[in-house]
A = this chain, B = another copy of it.
Amino acid sequence: MRFFEDIAIGQRRELGSFTFTAELIKKFAAQFDPQPFHLDEEAGRRSLFGGLAASGWHVGSVYMKLLVADGQRQAKEAAARGEKVAVWGPSPGFRELRWIKPVLAGDTISYASEIESLRSSEKRPEWGIVQGRNSGTNQRGELVFSLLATAFVPRRNSGA
């Protein structure tokens, strides 16, 4: 994980890809979003989605999974180079989550994160506040998912 000083507006990271199989879509839906079009191919085909569709919360949770994996990969690489690793603060939430197009069984979604704004924290000068536009794009290059995330990121000399 990077320090506030190492982050610039427009920086983009590819977080990785994930294929939403029918089995995984149904498993998540059975636990958290048991609507017919998330559970059954035929009900999905008859719905506005036009096929078995992943729950939006599944699409978001997979973004989190890949974000965490990317952060752990970055931390490992930085440690291997003997660099200090920044420990980011917990996320206070996010804004403007959009489910733009359905994610259907068999779709592969590639997630990316792009820095949109940087500012200092007035209350806590040892932290910076980073906003990133996070997105998911399907195998046809169509944007399917987007959210604007906020993170508290330590400054290099903050002691974090």
Contact = CB atoms under 8 A, between A and B. Distances in A.
Contacts of A56: 91, 93
B62 A32 contact: yes
Indicate the size class of the contact surface on chain A.
Answer: 20 to 34
Contacts of A57: 57, 60-61, 64
Residue of A35, A48, A90, A102 ringed by the most chain B CB atoms within 10 A? A90
A48 B61 CA distance: 22
**Oligomer: number of copies:** 2
A28 to B, nearest CB: 8
A152 B98 CA distance: 14
Interface string A22-49: 0000000001111100000000000011
A68 interface: yes
Interface of A: 31-35, 48-49, 55-57, 60-62, 64-65, 68-69, 89-100, 102
